[in-house]
C-alpha cells in the first residue's frame, strides 16, 4: 500500500465533508479501547454504521457519533481485512462536528479489488460503534456474477422493517458467503410527512415504542392530516429516528448501499423545487443537506463507466429564497435563480461499474422533472392566476395523457383547446406549456451516453419509479368509461413522450440487455417495455422489475383511500372483502385481477369470489407486457447478472407482517417468484421466463389462457 494521498477534504460552509485516507498496512494489532484522553466524554453511535458506492480501489464509510456534551468529538476510524481487527489496513483520527449533526463520511482508497473489509469507529473514551462489513468492487475485466438487492419506500410511521432482516438472514439460511454485492435503494428513504401518533404505539422487541419526536421547527401542514418537515433540523430528526430501526441498521452494516432519492426525501409528489403546492427552494436545500449528511453516497469522487464521466457532486450549501418558478425553458425547467441554485447545490445521478457483467446507472427523477402529464398543474395555476384544475375520474385515457404530455408541441404545434375525457370536454390546461420531462435535458443526454457507450453485458437502470405502463380499460363499466392510465400523475406513465423517446433510442441504437430495477409504486411486478404499447405486437426493448415497499402501505391500501368516495362497482375493482373458513374477514386485492386480466374478470371475481369463473372473462390483451403483479404485499428484489443470463427474484411479505417487529428472525416470507432473462443480441427482444415460484399463491396470479 502507498502512503496517505489526501489527509482531509471538507466542503466549506458548515456542512459535512469527506475525510479521505489511503489504506496503509498496519503491523500492530488494533486497540479497541484506547487510552482515554483527559476529560473525554461519553460517545454513542445510535444510528449505526454504513458503507456506500464501492469502487475497485475504494469505498465510502459512515457513522454518526452522539456525544454526552456539545462540542467536537474526536474519533478513530479503523478498517481491517478481518472481523477480529487483528491487523489494520487503516487507522486514522477524525473529528465529528456539531454543524453536520456529528455525521462523518470517510473515503478509504488504495484498497484491493473485490476484497471484504470490516470497519468501526472508536471514541477517545473507548466506546465503539458496531462493526460494519463492506467490500470493494471487482476489477473491470472480472467475469463473475454481479448481485444486486433493490429496495424502496421504507416507513416506520406505518410499520416495522422486518423485510430488511430477511435479506440479512438470507446468507445463513441459504449458505451464501454474500447474499448480494450491493443494496440499491431507489428512494423514499424517509417520509417527510408524519401522521398523528396514536395511543398504544407498537413496540420493538426490546420494549422501545415506535415514536417520533416533534419536529424542532413545529413542522407545517402536510397532506392528509400530517405534519411535514420544513427545516434542516426537521429532516435530521427524521433520519435519526429512521436509522434507530434495528433492521435497517443491520442491513446498512451488512452490505454497501447505493442510494438515489425519490420525492419523500424532500416533499410528496415534488418536482424541481415544487412541494406542498408551491415553490420551496429553501426547504429543498434543507432536505438535500440532511440527505447528504445521513445517506452516504460517493458523489464528487464517484467513478464512471465507459469513460462517460459522472456529473455527481457533493452538497454545497447555498442561500436561496422562496420565489415563483417562472420562467420555464423549452424543457419545462425553471430558470428562476433560486430554483437553479437549489438544483445545483448537489447532483446525485451517477453510474457504478461491477466487473464485466454490470453497469449500473442511477437517475434522479425529481430534481429536473417537470410536472407530469396530468391536470394538477397548468401554467396559469403555477403563476397563481387560478387554482389547479380539478378532475374527477379513475385515471386518464391514453389520448388525454399524450395531449397533456406534448403540451404546445402536440399535433405539430396545434394542440386542442379541449380534451374529451369519458365523454366530457375538458379545457386543456397544457395548451401553452412546454412538453413534460422526467429526466431533464442534461441528465437525459448523460443517460443516453451511458447506455450507448457501456460495454458491460447488462445495462441496469436504477429507476426510482416503474418504467412499465399500468393501464385499465374501464369500458366494461358502461357508457362514460374508457381506457385509462392507472396512476397518471407521479410515474413514468405521466411522461409517455420521454419514455417512448428513450425506448426508441435503445431500439434504434441496437442496445441490448437493458434492465430497469424500480420502486415507488408499493407493488411487486415484472414486465417488458416497448416504445409503443398501443400496437398489436409491441417491440420490447427492456425488462422492468418493480419491488414493493419495505414497510409503507401497499398500492391496494392507497387506492382504497383514494377511491373511498367512488361507487361500490368501482371500489370493488381495487379490493373486496370475503370470509375464510372460520368466518374471519379477508381483503381480496382485486387490483391484481383488474391489471392482469381486465375489468370484466375483476367484476366477476368480486361477484363470485371464484377464480375459475373470473378466468372465463380474462382478457389476454390486458397489460400483456406484465407477467406478474401484486399490489398487496411488501417486498424487495434480488437481481443477479451473469455473462449469458440474469435472474430476478421478487420477495413478497404479507401486509400484516409490518405491524409486528419480528426481531432477529425477520418477517416471514409469503412468496418468492423468480424470473430468468437470457442475454439478447441486437435486433432480438427480451423474454420473461418465470423459472420458479415458492410460497403462498398471489391473489389473481392465474393464466389468461
Mean pLDDT by 10 residues, the chain (705 residues): 39 59 64 50 94 98 94 95 95 95 97 98 95 98 97 95 97 94 98 87 90 94 92 98 97 98 96 94 98 97 91 96 93 95 98 98 97 81 69 73 94 94 84 94 98 97 96 83 77 94 97 97 98 95 98 95 87 92 90 95 96 93 94 98 98 96 96 98 92 96 72
Q: What is the pTM of this model?
A: 0.95
Among 338, 339, 342, CA closest to 315:
342
Helices vs. strands in the chain: H and E counts, helices first: 15, 35
Which three three-digit cell numbers place residue 301?
A: 469522487
Among 227, 219, 218, CA closest to 194:
227
How far is Cα 300 from Cα 18, in angstroms, rounded to an integer? 10
Residue labelled with grid coordinates 456506500: 52
Crossing angle (nearest 10°) for helices 441-453 and 496-508: 30
Q: Starting at the earlier edge strand, list the strands of the sheet with 542-546.
A: 350-354, 358-362, 458-463, 514-518, 542-546, 524-529, 626-630
Write phi, then psi, for 451 (nearest 5 degrees). Answer: -60, -45
DSSP 190: S
Whether the CB-CB separation of 128 and 122 falls below 8 Å is answered with yes
Mapping DSSP to helix (H, G, I), strand (E, B) and coil, where does residue 508 land? Answer: helix
Which pLDDT belongs to residue 7?
Answer: 41
How far is Cα 702 from Cα 685, in angstroms, rounded to an integer? 24
Which pLDDT belongs to residue 423?
Answer: 77
Whether the CB-CB separation of 483 and 473 falls below 8 Å is answered with yes
Residues in the chain: 705
Through-space distance between the first and last CA atoms of the chain, rounded to whole angstroms: 62
Which pLDDT belongs to residue 584?
Answer: 87
How far is Cα 165 from Cα 171, in angstroms, rounded to an integer? 11
Distances (CA, A) of 176 to 93, 344, 576: 35, 42, 41
How far is Cα 470 from Cα 456, in angstroms, rounded to an integer? 30
Whether the CB-CB separation of 522 and 632 falls below 8 Å is answered with no
Which pLDDT belongs to residue 156?
Answer: 92
Where do the structural domains in the chain lie, given as residue ranges?
1-136
Which pLDDT belongs to residue 9?
Answer: 45
DSSP state string for 518-585: E-SSSSEEEEEE-S-SSSSS----EEEEE---SSSPPHHHHHHHHTTTS-HHHHTTT-EEEE-TTS-E
Which pLDDT belongs to residue 375?
Answer: 81
Residue labelled with grid coordinates 454526552: 68
Domain 1-136 has CATH 3.30.460.10: no
Q: HEC states along 17-31? A: CEEEEECCCCCCCCC
Q: How many CB atoms sit inside 10 A of residue 590's CB?
A: 26
Which pLDDT belongs to residue 389?
Answer: 62
With 0-12 / 13-18 / 19 or more C-beta atoms within 10 angstroms meaning exposed / middle / buried, residue 66 is: middle
Please name the residues in contact with 348: beta carbons below 8 A apart, sequence gap of 6 or more: 260, 261, 297, 299, 312, 362, 364, 367
Amino acid at each position: 500500500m502507498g502512503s496517505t494521498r489526501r489527509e482531509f477534504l471538507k466542503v466549506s460552509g458548515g456542512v459535512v465533508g469527506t475525510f479521505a485516507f489511503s489504506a496503509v498496512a498496519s503491523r500492530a494489532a488494533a486497540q479497541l479501547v484506547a487510552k482515554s484522553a483527559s476529560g473525554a466524554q461519553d460517545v454513542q453511535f445510535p444510528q449505526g454504521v454504513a458503507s456506500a458506492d464501492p469502487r475497485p480501489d475504494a469505498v465510502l464509510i459512515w457513522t454518526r457519533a452522539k456525544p454526552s456534551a456539545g462540542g467536537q468529538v474526536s474519533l478513530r476510524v479503523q478498517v481491517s481485512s478481518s472481523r477480529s481487527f487483528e491487523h489494520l489496513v487503516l487507522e486514522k483520527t477524525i473529528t465529528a462536528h456539531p454543524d453536520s449533526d456529528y455525521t462523518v463520511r470517510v473515503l478509504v482508497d488504495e484498497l484491493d479489488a473485490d476484497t471484504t473489509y470490516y470497519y468501526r469507529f472508536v471514541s477517545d473514551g473507548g466506546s465503539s460503534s458496531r462493526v460494519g462489513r463492506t467490500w470493494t468492487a471487482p476489477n473491470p475485466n472480472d467475469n463473475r456474477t454481479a448481485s444486486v438487492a433493490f429496495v424502496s419506500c421504507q416507513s416506520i410511521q406505518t410499520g416495522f422493517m422486518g423485510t430488511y432482516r430477511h435479506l440479512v438472514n438470507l446468507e445463513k439460511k441459504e449458505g451464501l458467503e454474500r447474499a448480494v454485492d450491493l443494496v440499491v435503494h431507489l428512494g423514499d428513504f424517509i417520509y417527510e410527512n408524519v401522521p398523528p401518533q396514536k395511543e398504544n404505539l407498537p413496540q420493538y422487541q426490546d420494549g422501545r415504542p415506535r415514536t417520533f419526536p416533534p419536529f424542532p421547527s413545529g413542522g407545517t401542514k402536510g397532506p392528509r392530516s400530517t405534519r411535514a418537515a420544513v427545516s434542516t433540523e426537521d429532516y435530521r430528526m427524521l433520519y435519526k429516528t429512521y436509522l434507530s430501526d434495528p433492521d435497517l441498521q443491520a442491513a446498512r452494516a451488512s452490505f454497501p448501499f447505493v442510494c438515489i432519492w425519490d420525492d419523500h426525501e424532500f416533499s410528496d409528489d415534488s418536482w424541481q423545487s415544487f412541494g406542498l403546492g408551491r415553490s420551496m427552494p429553501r426547504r429543498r436545500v434543507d432536505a438535500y443537506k440532511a440527505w447528504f449528511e445521513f445517506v452516504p453516497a460517493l458523489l464528487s469522487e464517484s467513478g464512471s463507466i465507459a469513460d462517460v464521466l459522472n456529473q455527481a457532486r457533493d452538497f454545497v450549501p447555498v442561500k436561496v429564497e422562496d420565489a415563483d418558478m417562472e420562467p420555464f425553458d423549452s424543457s419545462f425547467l425553471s430558470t428562476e435563480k433560486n430554483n437553479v441554485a437549489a438544483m445545483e447545490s448537489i447532483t446525485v445521478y451517477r453510474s457504478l461499474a461491477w466487473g464485466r457483467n454490470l453497469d449500473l446507472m442511477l437517475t434522479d427523477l425529481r430534481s429536473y422533472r417537470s410536472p407530469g402529464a396530468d391536470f394538477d398543474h397548468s401554467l396559469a395555476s403555477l403563476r397563481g392566476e387560478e387554482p389547479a384544475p380539478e378532475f374527477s375520474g379513475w385515471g386518464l385515457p391514453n389520448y388525454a395523457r399524450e395531449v397533456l404530455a406534448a403540451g404546445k408541441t402536440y399535433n405539430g404545434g396545434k394542440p386542442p383547446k379541449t380534451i374529451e375525457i369519458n365523454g366530457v370536454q375538458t379545457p386543456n390546461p397544457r395548451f401553452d406549456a412546454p412538453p413534460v420531462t422526467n429526466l431533464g435535458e442534461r441528465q437525459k443526454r448523460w443517460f443516453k451516453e451511458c447506455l450507448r457507450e457501456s460495454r458491460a453485458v447488462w445495462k441496469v437502470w436504477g429507476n426510482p419509479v416503474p418504467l412499465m405502463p399500468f393501464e385499465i380499460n374501464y369500458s366494461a363499466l358502461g357508457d362514460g368509461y374508457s381506457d385509462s392510465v392507472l396512476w397518471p400523475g407521479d410515474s413514468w406513465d405521466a411522461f409517455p413522450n420521454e419514455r417512448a423517446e428513450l425506448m426508441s433510442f435503445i431500439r434504434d441504437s441496437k442496445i441490448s440487455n437493458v434492465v430497469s430495477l424500480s420502486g415507488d409504486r408499493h407493488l411487486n411486478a415484472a414486465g417488458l417495455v416497448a416504445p409503443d404499447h398501443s400496437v398489436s405486437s409491441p417491440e420490447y426493448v427492456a425488462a422492468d422489475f418493480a419491488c414493493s415497499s419495505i414497510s409503507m402501505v401497499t398500492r391496494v391500501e392507497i387506492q382504497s383511500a383514494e377511491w373511498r368516495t367512488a361507487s361500490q362497482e368501482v371500489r370493488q375493482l381495487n379490493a373486496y372483502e370475503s370470509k375464510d373458513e372460520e368466518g374471519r374477514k379477508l381483503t381480496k386485492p382485486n387490483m391484481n385481477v383488474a391489471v392482469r386480466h381486465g375489468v370484466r374478470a375483476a367484476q366477476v371475481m368480486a361477484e363470485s369470489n371464484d377464480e375459475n369463473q373470473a378466468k372465463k372473462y380474462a382478457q389476454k390483451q390486458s397489460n400483456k407486457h406484465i407477467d406478474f403483479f401484486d399490489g398487496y404485499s411488501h417486498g424487495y428484489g434480488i437481481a443477479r447478472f451473469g455473462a449469458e443470463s440474469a435472474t430476478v427474484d421478487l420477495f413478497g411479505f404479507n401486509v400484516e407482517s409490518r405491524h409486528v417487529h419480528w426481531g432477529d428472525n425477520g418477517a416471514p416470507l409469503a412468496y418468492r417468484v423468480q424470473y430468468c432473462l437470457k442475454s439478447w443480441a441486437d435486433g432480438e427482444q427480451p423474454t420473461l421466463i418465470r423459472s420458479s415460484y415458492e410460497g403462498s399463491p398471489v391473489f389473481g396470479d392465474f393464466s389468461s389462457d
